[in-house]
Structure 1
Amino acid sequence: MIYDSYAMYLCDWYRARDQDHAHSLTLRSFLSRNRLMITHHAVILFVLVPVAQLKQQHTLLYKVNGVLTLATFLCCRILLFPFMYWSYGHQQGLSLLQVPFHIPFFCNVANAFLIAPQIYWFSLLCRKALRLFDTPQAKKDG
């Protein structure tokens, strides 16, 4: 999370430098413009990671967070691609199934490369969630 935040700052700093902005990108201006993303990273780093390290996986907070993570990952990282194709098709008067044949081939290839790791990571999250919620009966009775 620290690396992600630092990388975001560097990207903004280089972008501001390349655009010859009269004002320099200060840490304060970066934090104020990216308040939500920085808060997201801070909560994960300072709340959710310690909960996981303290073996608190059995708590309701951990389980609710897991379900919300699955739902937001599915909506924002996987369903984004069919929505993008549907939206383009809607603008062009095409059905969802016609869109891949009416856009440049490299766009489909690029989207395939982008969605493949998302699907893989989502499958890992689902496996983790199944292990969390699927405790064997022997352990429950033991």
Structure 2
Amino acid sequence: MVPILAWLALTGSIFFPCSFLICTFLLRKWVGIQSTAVQTAVAMRLTSVLQAFMASVCGWYIVTHCYHDFLYARCWLVDTYMSFGLPYMLYDIGAMYASYHRDAEAKQNAIISKKLTFVPFLNRQKLIITHHLLVAFVGYPIALFYRNGKGDFFLGCILLTELSSPFVNLRAILKKFNRTGSNLYRINNALILLIFFLCRILIFPITFWVYSWDKQVYWFQVPWMIPWHCTLGCTIIGGFQLMWYVMFAKAMWKMHEKGAKVDRNKNLANGAVGEKSA
């Protein structure tokens, strides 16, 4: 079994970087984007959308095949996708750094040594880097080797959290193309707040409630009933999701306030012009 999982991990470590390179090529040749910084940023986001789509489909398949027995039902796709998807977390850190470095070069219109951008990148993205490393080196090993065949249903639920990722990445792509004033950007922001909350925050109390219903106990008893590493994992992952949600909400509120201020200034200016005309 372990050699198969290793081959799946190797396949994933090839698949995600190749997907990134293919997206970069297509953006340059087919879409006509010549900026290396834009190519890198958009290719990174498109690869993230691809991973999110695969994870969500796998999560849905696992949940629908294991809902009849929340704790002991098994699904072959759990270990398969966990092994295949593990390298994505490490790839994504590299892709984010490549995007950050290209952006820095584009802003200064010069070739910059990677030594000058690496530490600032770590400082700026320390939250998501920490998340990715914890998932790769703590979450995946626990999911693959320390569950004793239990909880496939709940891992399927965890994979379903990726349903919000396409909307988050679309927001970044629209921002990259200076479309923050478009209706699509505003609608997508509203969808992010809704879907992110449902898929990445509410999913944890829901899974606890499902477990409590199955065991006929109160839901707040669940964290003390399940293995400690499961409680710790849910706490850490849920904590990251909550922090990101607050960050999204603050950023969107600032954008709303800025837009409202611009509209007020336009109205005042139009009013002044009207008075002069009169």
The TM-score, its normalising length taken from structure 1, stands at 0.64
- Which ranges of structure 1 fall in alignment gaps of 5 or more residues? 15-36
Task: Confirm whether residue 92 of structure 1 aligns to residue 181 of structure 2.
Answer: no
1:128 maps to 251
Structure with larger RCO (C-alpha < 8 A, sep 6+): 2
Letter in 1 for 2:221: Q
| Structure 2 counterpart of 1:105, one-letter code | W
Q: Which structure has the larger Rg?
A: 2
Say if 2:201 and 2:238, in contact at 8 Å, map to a contact too: yes
> Separation in 1 of the partners of 2:179 and 2:46?
23
Q: Check whether the contact 2:174–2:185 (CA below 8 A) recurs between aligned residues.
A: yes
Residue 11 of structure 1: aligned partner: 84
Q: Return closer, same or farther for 1:62/1:99 CA change in 2, 3 Å cut-off.
A: same
Say what the alpha-carbon RMSD is for the aligned residues.
3.3
Structure 2 residue identity aligned to 1:99? V
- In structure 2, stretches of 5+ residues that fail to align are 1-44, 55-80, 88-161, 266-278
Equivalent pairs: percent with the same residue?
21
**Cα offset for 1:100?**
1.6
The count of residues paired between Structure 1 and Structure 2 equals: 114
| Aligned partner letter, 2:84 | C
Aligned to 1:34: none
- Residues 63-105 of structure 1: per-residue CA shift (max 9 Å, x gap): 1100101111110111110001000000000111121222222
TM-score normalised by structure 2 residue count: 0.35
Q: Alpha-carbon deviation of 1:3?
A: 4.3
Distance in 2 separating the partners of 1:137 and 1:121: 24
Listed one character per residue, the Cα deviations across residues 90-128 of structure 1 (whole Å, up to 9, x for unaligned) are 000011112122222222111112112111111111111
Aligned counterpart for 1:61 among listed residues 179, 184, 187:
184
